[in-house]
């Protein structure tokens, strides 16, 4: 008789310190959506909190950054550290679905996210924002956030805003869609086998 695997909660913590930022991330993939996000960038905190909620991830993100210079370093380093924590929490990727896809509407806006936890990094980002900022977050950093996350989570990530007018709605739909796609991709099922790949490794 085949052995039924026992699935235990997957979590990781990462601490990244540079001359520009000090970032701490604690992530549990098999969580309940709780979050404690304090980056000094209010709109980013909001996006991280809803990412955790819609991904059913438990998430702590604390960042002290040189925001007197620019928001760039804080946004980038939070994404890098989150991607590293995500990779560490996945571990050997045993029994995961690997792929995930989600469409999320936010009023007039619709976003799509598709992910492959393949171990290979690639980002496709197709979104145009009418406003240069939303809250205190420059919209040019939305793509950069997901680029840095995907690079360090070592995944293929395709993001599209199919339509929409309100910048807040577009960005929020992106974060929710990525969360739901990742939630689907990290789900474990014994039927997938130890590695969902003909190569035998991810």
69-127 residue pLDDT tens: 889 999 999 999 999 999 999 999 999 999 999 999 999 999 999 999 999 999 999 99
Beta bridge partners of 156: 116, 122
Contact 29, 96 (CB under 8 A): no
How much of the chain exceeds pLDDT 90, in percent? 86
Q: What is the 3-state secondary structure (H, E, C) of 135-192?
A: CCEECHHHHHHHHHHHHHHCCEEEEEEEECCCHHHHHHHHHHHHHHHHHHHHCECHHH
Using 50, 70 and 90 to split pLDDT, how confident is the model at 67?
Answer: confident
Tell me the domain boundaries of the chain.
Answer: 11-192
The candidate with the shortest Cα–Cα distance to 74, out of 131, 148, 134, is 148
Tokens found for residue 177 = 């869609």
How confident is the model at residue 1, as a pLDDT? Answer: 42
- Chain mean pLDDT for the chain: 94
Tokens found for residue 98 = 């690997």
Between CA 175 and CA 198 the distance in angstroms is: 31
Using 50, 70 and 90 to split pLDDT, how confident is the model at 48?
Answer: very high
Contacts of 87 (CB under 8 A, 6+ apart): 12, 152, 153, 154
Q: Could you report the per-residue pLDDT of 7-42, keeping only the tens digit for each?
A: 889 999 999 999 999 999 999 999 999 999 999 999
The candidate with the shortest Cα–Cα distance to 171, out of 84, 74, 41, 77, is 41
- Pairing relationship of beta strands 109-116 and 122-126 according to DSSP bridges: unpaired
Domain covering 11-192 assigned CATH 3.40.50.300 in the classification: no
């Amino acid at each position: 008789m085949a052995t039924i695997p026992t699935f235990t909660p997957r979590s990781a913590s990462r601490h990244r310190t540079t001359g520009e930022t000090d970032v701490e991330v604690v992530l549990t993939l098999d969580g309940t959506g709780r979050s404690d996000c304090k980056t000094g960038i209010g709109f980013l905190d909001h996006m991280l909190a809803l990412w955790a909620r819609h991904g059913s991830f438990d998430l702590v993100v604390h960042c002290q950054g040189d925001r007197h210079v620019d928001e760039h370093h804080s946004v980038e380093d939070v994404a890098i550290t989150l991607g590293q924590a995500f990779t560490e929490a996945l571990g050997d990727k045993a029994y995961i679905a690997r792929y995930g896809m989600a469409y999320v509407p936010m009023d007039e806006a619709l976003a799509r996210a598709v992910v492959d936890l393949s171990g290979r990094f690639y980002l496709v980002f197709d979104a145009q924002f009418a406003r240069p900022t939303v809250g205190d977050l420059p919209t040019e950093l939305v793509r950069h956030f997901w680029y840095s996350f995907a690079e360090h989570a070592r995944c293929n990530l395709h993001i599209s805003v199919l339509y929409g007018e309100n910048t807040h709605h577009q960005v929020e739909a992106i974060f929710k869609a990525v969360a739901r796609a990742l939630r689907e991709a990290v789900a474990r099922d014994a039927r997938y086998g130890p590695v969902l790949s003909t190569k035998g490794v991810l």
